[in-house]
Every structure is written in C-alpha cells, then in structure tokens.
Chains A and B, each alone.
Chain A
C-alpha cells in the first residue's frame, strides 16, 4: 500500500514545456496565477482555460494524467461549490429550505470559485509533470535566491535530500510494520483512537532511525567537502534559452489579456 506513493510525478517527455528552463516555468506559473486571480467574471476564464488546454496539449502529457491531480482534492472542490451555493446572500432566490437558500449569484460564484481552483491545480500539476525534481529544486533555489529569500540554498538542499530519502523511509516504515505485526500489533482494526495509538510503536523507531540517518548523512556530506552553497557549481547548470523568453512573453501576454478584460473590455459588453 505504501509502495503506491510516488515521489514527484514527473512524466518524461521532450516537449517545449519539458525543455523549458525551470526558472522560466516557475515565473510563468506565478504570472499565470496572478492572471487567474485577476479574472472577475465567468467569461474571463475563457482566455485562461484556452491557454491551459493549449499548454496541456503541447506538453505531450496525456490529458488523463494531467487531470489526475484533481482527483485527491475533489472533496475540497465539492465543498467550495456547495458552500458558495448556499452562503452567497445576494441575488435572486431560486430555492429555499428553511434557513438554506440558493441564489443565482450563489450558483455563478460557486462555479467561478471551483473553476479557478481546477485551473490553478492543473497548471501547478503541469509544472511538476514536466520538470524533474532535481531541475525543479534547482530552479526554486535560483528564483528564491534572486528574490533574496534567506536560506534559499539550504531550503533547496533540504528538498533534494527529502526527495532522496522518502523512498528509503517508506521502505523502513514497511519493515517496521512487518516487525510490529509479527509481535502482534494490529494496524487495521479498532476506532480512530485505537488506530492512532497503534502507530506509536511505529513512529518512535521511525523517528529515531531518521535522526540517526540525518547524523550519518551530515558526516558523509562533510567528508565530501560540502560547505554550503557558496562556491558550489552544478553538473547541469541552468541556462536561459530563447524559448524561455518566448514562454515568459506568452505568460505575460495572458496576464495582459486578463488585465485588459478586467478593466476595459468588460465595458464593451
């Protein structure tokens, strides 16, 4: 059961999006998100949706895989939808049951918010689907460094190490579960509290083990001359290409379009 957890969800490919510099993708995503939050009317999502569909189509990632990111959070989406349906006070009342009422404004708002979330998730998923974890952390390190985020290198190194050790820790958890099951532990039965309690004999050795690993790893890193980000070079340095400029122009164009839609084009209707 634990084996199903995959780290990162990179979908190998050679598309334009795949070859894009991770920094360009991260900045592009930031522009996209800004655009998404500037949209004020349902029709305004048109531009963003078309842009997103084109992105997915050009990435070579099968739409099924690209949309899979929505699956785990559909309860959140349903919650957003229902909450907005019932809790928007304005508008014409369409249906009423006691204190609960649904208005036309509520329906619009619910669909609006859900659509925003779906688009946001798809774009973010597309970033992780088309970027290897190493390039993603490299990109984040450089972007954060540029923004003067303190400890940018340390944060990126932590992510690199986390990516490396998640499979190892999953393996260890499975081994511990087997060992505890052999001693009569039961992880499957009982109420919520009983189950949470049964995790204690699992978590304690797991944490102790993780701390020992961290200690060993620190020694090994020091033995290999690690002394922080200063003066460190990379096997595959990031280099901006012409296509990265083009991608940023595209994302900027989308942002400009939504801004125009919000402030000027809407008067045309």
Chain B
C-alpha cells in the first residue's frame, strides 16, 4: 500500500512543485495520474521510490520510507520505475543483459537471475527477442524491455512515468497492454502517469494533478463526467466522452458515463 501524507516538495531553484498532496493507493490498484506539464505529476512519482525525498510530509510504501537509509534500497526493489525516454533507460546492449541488470544489482545467484529474466521477458511478450540488440527494437518494444527489467526485481508496485509519451500509437497500445496484464494477472499495483486521456480511462482510479495539488481523485467515469472542471484545468476528456457530452447538450438522449467509442456506438445505434 502506498500512503502519501501532506507531501510538499521544493526544487533547488525555489519552485514549489508539490504543495500538499494526500493519497492512498491500495494493493493491486491501477491508478492513473493525469496532469499538464509542470503540474507536479512526475515529481510526485519520483517520491514513490525515494529518488526524491519530501521537503515535508511523508511517503510510505508498505511502511518503507526513502528517508531512512536502511529502507532506501528495499524501497527501490519494491517500487519499480519506468521512465519516459525509451533510449535513456536501457543500460546493457542486449535485451537479456539489460533485463538482468536489476537482479544483478540485488546480488542474486546466476540461476535465479536466469529464471527471473526469462519470466520477466515472457511477462511482457519479449521472450523471443532476448538475444537482440536493444538499439534495433521499436520504441514500444524498448519500453516493454524496460518494464521487464523492473519486473525482474519482483517489485510490488510499478510506477510508469509517462512511458508512452514518446511512442507511436502502436507502441502505446503495446505498453498499456503489458501494464494492464501485469496488474490484472500478477496483482502488481500500477501508478501510470500520463497526459493521454484514453489511457487514464482504462485505470481503476484517476487522480488529476494541477499546480502541485491533487485536484480530483476518483473512478474514471466520475472524473471524466466533470467535463467543465477538466476544461478549467485545461485538460481534455477522452474523445468519446466529449462527443457524448456535446450530443447530450444538443438534446440527444444519451446515458451518462460514456467513456469509450465502443460504449458510444452501443448507446447511439438504437437511437437511429
């Protein structure tokens, strides 16, 4: 379980990136954090594995705090983090060697590393690429290798810091599918930071960050229903939700809570 209590954080240049955030993420949840550039969402994410330490307040993952030196490395093992740029987070030249990097740092026995690497690569559908050079992979494949590299350390929480921002639509789908599968099948808690509404719509819960504060927290249907409030925060809503809202405004009798284009199609078809 992740507990964030009254978190404040200031960068060295004095900008206050997080001005008081409270949030609890239960085990096994898929949480999406939405927000504009500079809203503090990445800063918040980096507190989850102790890369950044709070100026005041507290961040605990299963009771571990990055503030206590004896917890720091256990925290990083428990909370795996995948970053935005697929080219800048793979360390070794081949897929298999890169996936082994984390377990090697944990000092595991070679046979155990081998087993974990194979399982982690299979878990993201990259097993057949294990001998490939990483620079020959597509963006989506690189990000899946990055996820495997983290999963090989057997974390309980996966923090994805805008992993799809630099990918094409196909790569985005691959990465989302891998994250969703790990959440559903292996019970991994996922914190997915994104500015793509369609991805947030797939989460169990959405938190919206604006100007260093958590502006809204709730299930996607509730959040995307508040179209006016989201607009005020200069955020879009998923295209299907926006379309349903506009049609309803013009008097088309559509039910509330439509999020995906499939749902919209199902709602529209009987009307005409």
Contact = CB atoms under 8 A, between A and B. Distances in A.
Interface in A192-239: 212-213, 216-217, 219-227, 231-237
B117 A225 contact: no
A224 B105 contact: yes
A235 B114 contact: yes
A235 B90 contact: no
Task: Kindly state the interface size class of chain A when it binds its partner.
Answer: 20 to 34
Task: Kindly state the interface size class of chain B when it binds its partner.
Answer: 35 or more
A180 interface: no
Interface stretch (B79-87, B193-201, B213-221, B251-259): B79-87
A240 to B, nearest CB: 15
B106 A220 contact: no
B83 A160 contact: no
12 contacts: A167-B135, A212-B88, A217-B89, A221-B101, A223-B83, A224-B91, A224-B153, A225-B153, A226-B101, A232-B104, A233-B107, A234-B110
B92 interface: yes
Contacts of B100: 234-235
A233 B113 contact: yes
A178 interface: no
B91 A235 contact: no
Contact of B91 (A161, A168, A212, A232): A161
A101 to B, nearest CB: 53
Contacts of B262: none
Nearest to B149: A224
A154 interface: no
B87 A226 contact: no
A206 to B, nearest CB: 14
A233 B88 contact: no
B135 A216 contact: no
Contacts, number: 95
Nearest to A160: B92
B162 interface: no
Interface string B97-137: 10011111111111001100100000000000000011100
Interface of A: 133-134, 160-161, 163-164, 167-168, 171, 212-213, 216-217, 219-227, 231-237
B133 A217 contact: no
Given A219-B51, A233-B109, A134 B93 contact: yes
A233 B110 contact: yes
A236 B114 CA distance: 9
Nearest to B76: A225
B77 interface: yes
A134 B131 CA distance: 12
Contact of A220 (B89, B103, B108, B153): B89
Contact of A217 (B91, B97, B149): B91
B164 to A, nearest CB: 17
Contact of A160 (B80, B93, B103, B135): B93
Contacts of A167: 133, 135
B51 A222 contact: yes
A216 B166 CA distance: 15
B247 to A, nearest CB: 43
Max chain A C-beta neighbours (<10 A), residue from B49, B89, B92, B105 = B105
Interface in B126-157: 133-135, 149-150, 153
B106 A225 contact: yes
Given A233-B104, A233-B110, A224 B92 contact: no
B83 A219 contact: yes
A216 B46 CA distance: 13
